[in-house]
Amino acid sequence: MATKSSEKLFSYLDGLHKKYTEISDQLSDPGIVKNQKKFREYSKELANLRPLNDKFLKLEKLINQDKEAKELLELADDEEMRTLAEEELHTLGESIEELEQEIKILMVSDQVEDRRNVFLEIRAGAGGDEASLFASDLLRMYTRVAERKGWKAEVISTTYSGIGGIKEIIMYIRGENVHKYVKFESGVHRVQRVPVTESSGRIHTSTVTVAVMPEVDDVEIDINSKDLRIDTFRASGAGGQHVNRTDSAIRITHLPTGIVVTCQDEKSQHKNKDKAMRVLKSRLYEYERDKREDNIASTRKSQVGSGDRSEKIRTYNFPQNRVTDHRITGNNFNIEIILDGSLDQLIEMLTEVHTKKALEERFKEIIS
């Protein structure tokens, strides 16, 4: 017998299927085909719905087979026929339960978001020079992650500290399912160690913030040129040394939000402007997404999944040679392995925690 939650899940999916069919029909409308903006919007929405629609059709088929097997069991007039029908019902029941779990996980994952490339921002926080040195360590860690995964990593903009550390750096990382893997890195990373500048051997605590911003297409973010203030200045390198003699560095300020993006790593002003605009679009996308999440429910702003930078997510304790992710209970990780970019086990655990929480919230909405 189907449970009440299974019935409500099926009803929810049936509604999505009707919407999928409706959008498919609209895409055949000559008026929509001529309107390229509408056509792209509908095509994107259809693509987003397709995975769940395919699962629904498979679930519908299994449920119909389950009904037929139950009818066969009721009509069976010999023991052999009853045994066959019971075996089939058992197999179908397991298949339906497994498929429902796959559907629930698919409902809380955003495949469009997961496939995006990202801009990853590392910024030294509390701790002065030690924080900037640890920011350099995190840069190496994420560069190693990209190498291990076969992704391409490109530095967009860098601001150095006086002792050769990093005050702020923005990397562009592209590859397969980049955002799916690194989205849990957003937050405050805390380091506990004896700084190289500390003569008495005292352990210091410093922080570095990491922000993961998904790359967006031009059609997703519409920026009015009147809302921008673009300034040029002379680029400088580590220790304040000028890397060129022209005003090639770019600073773009989005006046309505106050978001500021700078880029100075290229010698060409045009290239710096192009990179800065790409970062600005991603920051505006993140800004709008966070605002939308705030409007939906404040409870969804937990660190896992939200990318809130105000909370400590991980501690790197050098004296004890361990990394502790505060979103995972009962597990520590070897600091050398983590800083060498081997994050698979950690990311897998974070994904499980996130999926469990998201399922509890999302499915509660559907069956309530």
Beta strand pairing status for 166-174 and 152-160? antiparallel
Per-residue pLDDT tens over the stretch 238-294: 444 444 555 778 889 998 888 888 888 777 888 888 888 888 888 888 787 776 556
In sequence order, the β-bridge partners of residue 332 are: 324
As a whole number of angstroms, the distance between CA 149 and CA 145 comes to 6
Residue 253 vs residues 56, 229, 263, 274: alpha-carbon distances, Å = 46, 5, 12, 14
As a whole number of angstroms, the distance between CA 298 and CA 296 comes to 7
Domains 4-107 and 112-360 share a fold: no
Closest to 223 (Cα-Cα) out of 173, 248, 259:
259
Amino acid, res. 325: D
CATH of domain 4-107: 1.20.58
Query: Six-digit token pair at 288?
Result: 């709008």
- What is the full per-residue pLDDT of the chain (368 aa) written as tens digits? 467 778 888 998 999 999 999 999 999 988 888 888 888 888 988 988 999 999 999 999 999 999 999 998 888 888 888 898 899 999 999 999 999 988 988 887 777 788 889 999 999 998 888 999 999 999 999 999 999 999 999 998 888 887 778 999 999 999 999 999 999 999 999 999 988 767 677 888 999 999 998 888 765 677 888 888 988 887 665 444 444 555 778 889 998 888 888 888 777 888 888 888 888 888 888 787 776 556 544 433 443 333 334 469 999 999 999 999 999 988 999 999 999 999 999 999 998 888 888 888 777 766 55
CATH of domain 112-360: 3.30.70.1660
Quote the pTM value.
0.69
The domain limits of the chain are 4-107, 112-360
Query: Six-digit token pair at 363?
Result: 């499915």
> How would you class 368 by CB atoms within 10 Å of its CB: exposed for 0-12, middle for 13-18, buried for 19 or more?
exposed
3-state secondary structure at position 116: coil
As a whole number of angstroms, the distance between CA 144 and CA 339 comes to 8
